Chain A
Amino acid sequence: MKVSILQFPGTNCEYDTQHAFEALGATTQIVWHKSETIPTDTDLLVVAGGFSYGDYLRSGAIAKFSPVMKAVNAYADKGGKVLGICNGFQVLTELGLLPGALKRNDGLHFISKHHHLKVQNNNNTFLKKLNNGDLVNIPIAHHDGNYFIDANRLKELYANNQVLLTYTDAEGNVKNPNGSVDSIAGICNKDKNVFGLMPHPERAMEVLLGSDDGVKMLKGFLEL
């Protein structure tokens, strides 16, 4: 199992992501954005969190023109698995690999805390280790996490089981921290090979540090 992790100027979660996947037994490689290729034996490509290009213009807007992105598109088109976490999710929506967009949080504040999420669809690589309705406790840390999609595309998301995770309280009741449409925290594309979420499963790997619920999530990718 080989995980390639993209690194842009301003990315800051690449080493956490690397640590998380290596702790689960994967081999990892960090790929600098200027590379025009990604390793051919990549089983999972992660677009890690952070603030690529300082979030200038819009979060993820400039990263989509990085040299490596042509290879990312080609990899995803061939069915390669891609996971975008936080800024990675923003980059994937800007790139058009995932539908919708991430807006400024409704409360305008940067939010950094643990938040519960409910699994809405586990019939995919990412969440197959969890059951529908399961709750996980995962850190969120974002300013632009307010997921927006128009009503028609939202219907499509539901029809294709692309809504993966929603924000809830500890009892599983809807609790929306940032104004996202239908409290959506994570989605996938129609072909279920490209995944994006605002919360950080790679930061929830140790009970000692608040939660190890990220293990069950990331493990989904290890058994393809």
Chain B
Amino acid sequence: MKVIVNISLKAGVLDSQGKAVHHALDSLHFSSVDDVRIGKQIILQLNTQDKTKALADVSKMCEELLANTVIEDYEIELV
């Protein structure tokens, strides 16, 4: 089973990269952009088809390693 984890900085934590990209888009005259947030995506291939187990396992992975919950939020998507 494929599992996608999206990690991004928490709301309220300044995203410097997002801000820089926003400035760059502005200078390219993409005036429709209100905000840019940059995160990372981790794609896992699990050897189980059990969705409950997958979710529990990946949540634990996020809490222990994949995200730093002091500054980051994570979302788990089972594909």
Contact = CB atoms under 8 A, between A and B. Distances in A.
Given A101-B70, A101-B71, A148-B70, A108 B17 contact: yes
A106 B70 contact: no
Contacts of A148: 13, 70-71
A137 B53 CA distance: 53
Chain A interface mostly: loop
A94 B13 CA distance: 17
A144 to B, nearest CB: 11
A104 B70 contact: no
B3 interface: no
A61 B7 CA distance: 14
Interface in A56-83: 57-58, 61-62, 65
Nearest to A65: B65
A100 B70 contact: yes
B20 A108 contact: yes
Interface string B37-79: 0000000000000000000000000000110101100000000
Contacts of A62: 65
Contacts of B68: 58, 61, 94, 101
Chain B interface mostly: mixed
Contacts of B14: 106, 179
A58 B20 CA distance: 20
Residue among B9, B16, B20 with max Cβ neighbours from chain A (10 Å): B16
Contacts, number: 34
Nearest to B67: A58
A57 B65 contact: yes
Interface string A84-121: 00000000011000001101111110000000000000
Nearest to B9: A103
Contact of B66 (A57, A65, A94, A149): A57
Contacts of A103: 9, 13, 16, 71
Interface of A: 57-58, 61-62, 65, 93-94, 100-101, 103-108, 146, 148-150, 179
Given A101-B70, A106-B16, A148-B71, 17 more contacts: A57-B65, A57-B66, A61-B65, A61-B68, A94-B68, A100-B70, A101-B71, A103-B16, A103-B71, A104-B17, A105-B16, A107-B16, A108-B16, A108-B20, A148-B13, A148-B70, A149-B70
29 contacts: A57-B65, A57-B66, A58-B68, A61-B65, A61-B68, A62-B65, A65-B65, A93-B70, A94-B68, A100-B70, A101-B68, A101-B70, A101-B71, A103-B9, A103-B13, A103-B16, A104-B16, A104-B17, A106-B14, A106-B16, A107-B16, A108-B17, A108-B20, A148-B13, A148-B71, A149-B70, A150-B70, A179-B14, A179-B16
